[in-house]
Structure 1
Amino acid sequence: MKHTQEKIKTLKIREKQEKSKLVNNQRKLETTSNNLQISKQQYSSMESRLKQMEADYNSSMSEFNKVDAQMKNRIRMVYKNQRTGMFELLLNAKDLNGLLDIIYFERIIIKNDYKRMMALKTKAAKIAKMKADIEAQRRYLAQTIEDINSQQRTIQRAIAQNQSMINRLKTDRAAYERSERELARQSASLQNMISKSYGHSTVKVSSSGFMKPIAGRITSPFGWRTHPIFKSRTFHSGVDIGGPNLGSIRASNAGRVIYSGWYGGYGKVVIIDHGSINGHPTTTLYAHMSTTKVNAGQSVSKGQVIGLEGTTGYSTGPHCHFEVRINGKPNNPLNYI
């Protein structure tokens, strides 16, 4: 039962870790979602500015081309007048001063057209530079948005994996909790079975007392304990001894085998009746064996191999669950071995 409880505890720890990862990933997702929203707003603003810049650029270039055409036309007219229209200008002018005024103002107009055209050209160049900068920022934001979208997809996959793992751990934990409850019920039913079978052994028990059924350390003690998860009280009816896998399990004392075989969550079990000790019917139980080496009704001596250690029934690893029952009720084996 200890192994089952340890497994439940381990699953609970893993479940807690996965929940912590889930919360962290959800926070990451919230942060990336906020960053994505900000980047999209910036991208939209850049798009608007870029469209405005394109409109300003096109307007400036249109005006530039218009002024350029006007200036070129005036230059051609002046050149033409200088070649063929000087006599006509003289006739149209009231006097020499009038002629000079016409020539002066034509030059002024052409000069102003040129200045205006250069200003428009400079403006267009600045707009083109700003447009290029905004376009570069827009491309950067577009890449940023794609990166954030990729991060979101990665985090969403991680969240799905976290949730899947949590669900699986909950399912596994529930299964182990059911097995633990089943073991408790089977322990009670064992008491009834033993009470009907013990007391018939005529084998003389060893005066040196009971021995440890297998070499190894005690991995779970006898008695009541607090459930590691729900804090409910559960009773461990024996001790768990973590010996080597397939190690020999020996009769703790001489007696008669009253049960050998499968017993629910206990897996493969051997129960030995040791007769009356100090006026009390005494039995021992050895559970989770990989193989039993004795049969019901068979007499065994102290130290005789009765089976091999295993992990049958509700067990998460090789060990021997060992019980000492007095009048069919579990007692602390450490008081006897």
Structure 2
Amino acid sequence: MTHMTDYQCPVCGVRAPVESLAWCCPRCRGPWDLDFSAGAVPRDSLAARAGSLWRYEEALPLGAAGATGGGPAAVSLGEGRTPLVPLTGTVTAKLDFLMPTLSFKDRGAVMLAELARHLKPRRVIADSSGNAGTAIAAYCARAGLDCTVYVPEATSPKKIEQIAAHGARPDLVPGDREAAARRAHAAAGEDGVFYASHVHNPYFLHGTKTYVYEVWEDLGGRLPDALVLPAGNGTLLLGAHLAVGELYAHGLIAQRPALIAVQAAAVAPLAAAFHAGEQDATPAAAAPTLAEGIAIPDPPRARQILSAVRASGGTFHTVTDDQIRAAQLDLAARGLFVEPTGAACWAAVRAHGLGDRTAVVPLCGAGAKTGLATGG
């Protein structure tokens, strides 16, 4: 395993070796960061590399044999390299719903599965409202790893079916998304268990950052004025923040884009904290919303998300279920069928506008996972 590094708590400074299987800081119980410095990615040589996110191996905390053409790759289903499609004269969509498991979560799941393959745990566990669980299940299947995914009992039946089809065990937990997380936290303390947490494990964020590396590559070594990103647990946004910082530090971009974060109006603790000038978010009450994938009442990385958006000169927007429903239908009319959560960023662009700035929005999950939004 190349680029091996330690976990480090961003609050307490506590460190732990990855081999310890510690899933959170033992002192504050917060999520880990990595003590890792990315190398510069040579854009001019990327064309000859693997057609997956492993092509950016200099920037990844796990190396992949074969990324530069020297042998079989690490765990992979050919994830990444999703296309950019114009929506307006200035706004472009990145079609991450075309990933192998039909959501952007494959970017982080492949990193966690590769890490688990090296660590050889007795079993892998995860918790999810659906998309992260299906991604972890698929990549564990690819890596030959035993896997259990804890999901809320109200999770879309199609997502539960997909988890089971990959050979993982979906464990339906009574209650909401937080109840599923608590069940996973309890199981994570068992011996030989690797908790493939898309929230607490920073390897996931180093996978999602490839979203921005792809935009940078496909736009000829530049980034748009703004990146519009969903913000529930903030895994794509924080990955984007990592990538922007790395590209800027290596002189590969001249300026940093603004990060425009989008939350569902029904559950928007981050947006409320941002606009109130707070450094951390106050937990919100759980509430039903079409954008179930970003309806996180108490995101563990709230401080990091707020800091990243502020540092970029960005802002937060919220969208209602009616706006999400309209955006989903609008995208479908353009030939792009995404799930309601996946339409949230486009809903924000339509509702709030971006002026004359260039922007990229992610279409994060396929409509086949949930179907069309109804009601209203």
> TM-score, normalising length from structure 2?
0.20
Q: Which of the pair has the greater relative contact order for Cα pairs under 8 Å at 6+ separation?
A: 1
**Greater C-alpha radius of gyration:** 1
Q: Which has the higher helix share?
A: 1
